[in-house]
Amino acid sequence: MLFGGMLALALLLAILDWLSHRRRMAFAAMGLAALAAALLAFELASVKTSIRVDLLLTVPLIALAAAVVGVLAILAPPFAARAVGALLAAAGAITLGWCAWSLAVSTARLNRIGLAFDEGRKLYWQETIRCQASFEKRFGPLQRRDSPCLGNLAVSSRSDGAYPYTRIVVNDGGQFDLLILWAANVEDTIRLIEGPFGPLKPRPDGSLYVESDPSKRQPAVELRPASNGGCEARIGNDYLKSVGTYRLRRIELGSCPATIDPPVHFLGAWGSLVADPPGSAYLRLTQIWFWESQGRGYALIDADNTRTNVHRFFNFPRRYTGTRDAQGAWHLRSVDEDNPGQTISVTVAGELMRLSGAPGLPRSSREVTLHPAEVITHPKIALVPVRDAALFERYFNTVLFNLNIPWTPQQALAQTEDARPAQ
């Protein structure tokens, strides 16, 4: 509509200026019309494209050109050309103002998101490194002692030019994570989607290794017991075509302090995974985690649909908060910016949870009943702190913000069968 309107006004201005023998102004208006026509044609050709980054350039460009041509047209007669020029200048100025306002709003939102991610990464690491049990909730069991190359291995030194890994965590199953320093005293894994590499394979000499796998962005890794009782690692870098050498020492964390009468209560997790429609290859996932803090309810709700043979790399639950009425029903409202005002009603009756208005569910006004189950989960949920109400609030607003929980239907189905109550 913007490009079409600019095209019409520019053509009208060109005709009026040509008839008034204002040739230079007429050519300027024709140039604006040609630009508007080209952008309109490109717009029509790209109508099915969902993401239009080009508009960040084309809209300000046509708006600025219209404002300049419109102002020039106002400076000389005839009156009709001046009127059209005023319309062009006003349209260009309004569009430029809207672009500036939108850019300011978007920049402020991106800054808030960036600060939330930074705070979330910091809190997540603080909860991870707090004690041994918390560390294992994130990386898996670390109880084996039959090799110095298993467990929580901090980098004590590395060769020149080696990638700056700060820690290698190898769990009892041989799966491993590579960590780097993201900020002061804050470490995080190198993978955008959280999950371990591996598993490492043993050799007769006691070393462990895994080959490079570019499809998983997994580097080649070799861990070998050192003569001093520690561990040495050789880790390849596919991008730099190099291999770094690292000396590692195992870190033992202390036990987690007992929390007596915590101010935050984890009320439970409820979930279901059913064929929708029944007997089809499509599955409908519903999962909710629920906490109560100082009389207020906090929920993380996941509603997703997929085929049985499709791995979901991206799956984002939504956050809700609210209060309970006199009948015991919780009335929760979405706190995510991309889903403002979405409401849901939750009632816990014994072991069952009944909810209505769940996002993403067909016939969502109908009541849905869930049994206690974690069909899917994530270490960030397992590490939610309940010992401090203010800390929980910060964690809920940052660590759980825009949380991605990839899941595989086959694994989720197996977990659901295991967790299903006996009939």
Tell me how far apart the alpha carbons of residues 229 and 57 are, in angstroms, rounded to a whole number: 60
Q: pTM of the full predicted structure?
A: 0.81
What is the band of 123 on the pLDDT scale with cuts at 50, 70, 90?
A: very high
Burial class, 228, CB count within 10 angstroms (exposed 0-12 / middle 13-18 / buried 19+): exposed
Nearest partner of 9 among 37, 33, 26, judged by Cα: 33
Tell me how far apart the alpha carbons of residues 335 and 367 are, in angstroms, rounded to a whole number: 22
Tell me how far apart the alpha carbons of residues 392 and 138 are, in angstroms, rounded to a whole number: 18
Task: State residue 364's pLDDT score.
Answer: 45
Evaluate whether 252 touches 132 at the Cβ level (below 8 Å): yes
Least confident of 44-48, 232-236, 377-381: 44-48
SS3 (DSSP) at 251: coil
Task: Enumerate residues 6+ apart whose C-beta is below 8 A from 26.
Answer: 14, 15, 17, 18
Task: Enumerate residues 6+ apart whose C-beta is below 8 A from 137.
Answer: 379, 382, 383
Tell me how far apart the alpha carbons of residues 22 and 406 are, in angstroms, rounded to a whole number: 64
Q: 413 φ, ψ to 5°?
A: -65, -40
Nearest partner of 20 among 75, 72, 81, judged by Cα: 81
Q: What is the pLDDT of residues 183-217, one digit of tens each?
A: 999 999 998 888 899 899 999 988 999 998 888 88
Nearest partner of 64 among 29, 88, 30, judged by Cα: 88
Q: What is the pLDDT of residues 315-347, one digit of tens each?
A: 999 999 999 998 888 999 998 877 777 888 998
Least confident of 244-253, 305-314, 326-335, 378-387: 305-314
What is the band of 59 on the pLDDT scale with cuts at 50, 70, 90?
A: confident
Domain extent listing, the chain: 2-105, 141-250, 264-419
Q: What is the pLDDT of residues 13-44, one digit of tens each?
A: 888 888 888 888 888 889 988 988 888 888 88
Tell me how far apart the alpha carbons of residues 31 and 38 are, in angstroms, rounded to a whole number: 11
DSSP string, 212-234: -BGGGTBPPEEEEE-TTSSEEEE
Percent of the chain with pLDDT over 70: 92
Q: Which of 121-130, 307-316, 345-354 has the highest mean pLDDT?
A: 121-130
Evaluate whether 317 touches 380 at the Cβ level (below 8 Å): no
What is the band of 397 on the pLDDT scale with cuts at 50, 70, 90?
A: very high
Tell me how far apart the alpha carbons of residues 82 and 54 are, in angstroms, rounded to a whole number: 31
Distances (CA, A) of 291 to 128, 286, 315: 20, 17, 21
**pLDDT of 277 higher than 50:** yes
Max Cα–Cα distance, the chain, nearest Å: 94
Nearest partner of 185 among 121, 228, 246, judged by Cα: 121
The residue that leads in pLDDT, 417 or 381, is 381
Instruction: State the amino acid at position 171 in one-letter form.
Output: N
Nearest partner of 285 among 313, 308, 254, judged by Cα: 308
For the domain bounded by 141-250, which CATH number is listed? 2.40.128
What is the band of 349 on the pLDDT scale with cuts at 50, 70, 90?
A: confident
